[in-house]
Chains A and B, each alone.
Chain A
Amino acid sequence: MIDVENLSKSYSGVQAVKDISFQVEPGEIVGFLGPNGAGKSTTMRILAGYLPPTDGRVSVAGYDVIDDSIEVRKRIGYMPENVPLYNEMRVGEYLSYRARLKHVPGAKVRDRVEEVTQLCGLEDVSRKIIGTLSKGYRQRVGLADSMVHEPDLLILDEPTIGLDPKQIRSVRELIKSLGKKHTILLSTHILPEVEMTCSRVLIIHKGRIEASDTPDNVMRAVRSGALRVEVKAPEKTAADRLGEVAGVEDVTVLGEKDGWCRLELFADRDHDIRDGVFELIKKENWALREMAPGRATLEEAFVELTQD
């Protein structure tokens, strides 16, 4: 659906995007992550046909964003950051205008507007003037606008920024349901959201792609404890004996209190050390209070991958 080859973009001497390449397959929901100023919005704007790339080739659904810009834009629903809208128009009026602008046939405009109004929960405000809407509703109007022409690809730049937790959840559910029909590329800073919605993440940092994989694999790629255990045993003995279990590469003692010792065990990715560890604890007759998989969160992976 998206094919980016050696894309670079610089403005007034500053290189915002440096020679990046990636693909997005039809039906994927891809989370586009990166610190502020990493080049996310720039990349999205290039994909949406708003900015021309300095170098490289970008195609969407087989059309080049420069040579067949109109064809590309017909197939994309783009929601810019901060959702710019005409404040003096009414919601329904704005959506019909946008539908017509995006070549929805005249006879279908009404149906499409009704459908997206319902999908985005805008029925109550469809007669309201956009300027009077709350942030959450504006966001939903932007989302409704982006999909009013049934595009193959949705590009959403921070769709949940500035929303309260309840609104975030409803937008997340909406995006998830949209994923069944559309390919989606979305950027966000809310990482649990990505874990829950996206089938793949792209992490961009300083204009370069640092990772492109499923959220699980990205988290695993970052070194982390495979297992956390809390046993009643002397600190040194526990650390030594657990270190001898097959597959365990390293042991870190996290703390000791009242004879209970908390440890984090590191193992290489292919080894499941849980059985071995449990056997040892049984053999040593240690009391066991906790044994839990300790894996890095996406947040930890993100921080590690985007370190300077």
Chain B
Amino acid sequence: MTTFWTLYRRELGSYFLSPIAYIVLFISALMLGLYLSFELSANMEFKHNSRAIIQMTSMNVVAIFLLFFQPALITMRTFSEEYKLGTIESLLTAPVREWEVVAAKFAGAWTFFMILWLPMLTNVVVVWAFSGNHMPPVWPLVGSTFLVYALLGAVFCSLGVLTSAMTRNQILAALTCFFLTFMLLFIGLVSVLYYDPLLRDIMGAFSPLLQIYNFSNGIVDTRPIVFYLSTTVLALFLALRLLQARRHRA
């Protein structure tokens, strides 16, 4: 376990050693904050309630845009850079197990992803503070919204780790991850194209967009939770196998 922590700390720390992390963090916070302030001022005539605030920040075009781009950008370097620099050789000749490396890289990326979504929480708190306690946060809703983001973040980050383990080319890793993220993110749209009730139900159960909507409204369904967790485990397992296969070929 100590090995995992050592690796995890380096992984997470490495994000903060490059300016890109701060830029992504800044842009994410800015976009989420700006969107909220536009939304609030544009809809002044409506009566906002505290439930709407978290839904407003979590389910909008800016949030979906960030959700689409962040994981690939965060994870593209995890393995690709190690392959390219050759540091994978010094890493794997230290007394570490391959699964510890994969788990630590994923955990580091996922933690950073969650840090990127902290502005969602600050939005809620800021509105609470500035409304003079008229809009206190509905904590269960905030919790379920963070839960769905944590789950989706896990799925997308694990796909990113997988695509990064495939190639030493970071751009290729990111593009492949974008493609997979896109497929998964917009899976629910299929139901709009083919108006088949059964298909719509199946797709809907897995559709991230629908699930963000449900979770932020307090509808916590176990089916997507199981689906997202098992997809994450599968992607990480494949990444592990790729890493092992690469050693046999190297």
Chain A residues proximal to chain B, CB less than 8 Å: 11-12, 45, 48-52, 70-71, 73-74, 76, 78, 80, 82, 84-89, 97-98, 100-103, 145
B48 an interface residue at 8 Å Cβ cutoff?
no
- When C-beta atoms are compared, the residue in chain A nearest to B84 turns out to be A84
State whether B95 touches A73 (Cβ < 8 A). yes
The distance in angstroms between the C-alpha atoms of A291 and B205, with both chains bound, is: 93
State whether B93 touches A97 (Cβ < 8 A). no
State whether B93 touches A11 (Cβ < 8 A). no
State whether A101 touches B89 (Cβ < 8 A). no
- When C-beta atoms are compared, the residue in chain A nearest to B94 turns out to be A101
State whether A76 touches B93 (Cβ < 8 A). yes
State whether B247 touches A103 (Cβ < 8 A). no
Known: A50-B89, A86-B87, A87-B85. A102 touches B247 (CB 8 A): no
B3 an interface residue at 8 Å Cβ cutoff?
yes
Cβ 8 A contact of B247, one of A51, A70, A87, A89: A51
The distance in angstroms between the C-alpha atoms of A50 and B250, with both chains bound, is: 9
State whether A101 touches B86 (Cβ < 8 A). no
A-B contact count (CB 8 A): 69
Shortest Cβ-Cβ A-B pairs, 3 listed:
A84-B86, A73-B95, A84-B87
The distance in angstroms between the C-alpha atoms of A51 and B10, with both chains bound, is: 25
State whether A50 touches B93 (Cβ < 8 A). yes
State whether A78 touches B2 (Cβ < 8 A). no
Chain B residues proximal to chain A, CB less than 8 Å: 2-3, 6-7, 10, 14, 17-18, 85-90, 92-97, 247-250
- When C-beta atoms are compared, the residue in chain A nearest to B97 turns out to be A70
Q: Which residues of A contact B6 (CB under 8 A)?
A: 97, 100-101
Cβ 8 A contact of A84, one of B2, B90, B248, B250: B90
Cβ 8 A contact of A88, one of B7, B14, B247, B249: B14
Cβ 8 A contact of A50, one of B7, B17, B97, B247: B247
Most buried by A among B7, B14, B95, B248: B95
Q: Which residues of B contact A101 (CB under 8 A)?
A: 3, 6-7, 94-96
Q: Which residues of B contact A71 (CB under 8 A)?
A: 95
State whether B249 touches A12 (Cβ < 8 A). yes
Known: A52-B247, A89-B17, A101-B7. A84 touches B85 (CB 8 A): yes
Chain B: minimal CB distance from A138 (Å): 12
State whether A73 touches B247 (Cβ < 8 A). no
Cβ 8 A contact of B89, one of A84, A89, A100: A84
State whether B18 touches A88 (Cβ < 8 A). yes
For the complex with contacts A45-B89, A101-B7, A145-B90, 14 further pairs of A-B residues with Cβ separation under 8 Å are: A11-B250, A12-B249, A52-B248, A78-B93, A80-B89, A80-B93, A82-B86, A84-B85, A85-B87, A97-B10, A101-B94, A101-B95, A102-B95, A103-B95
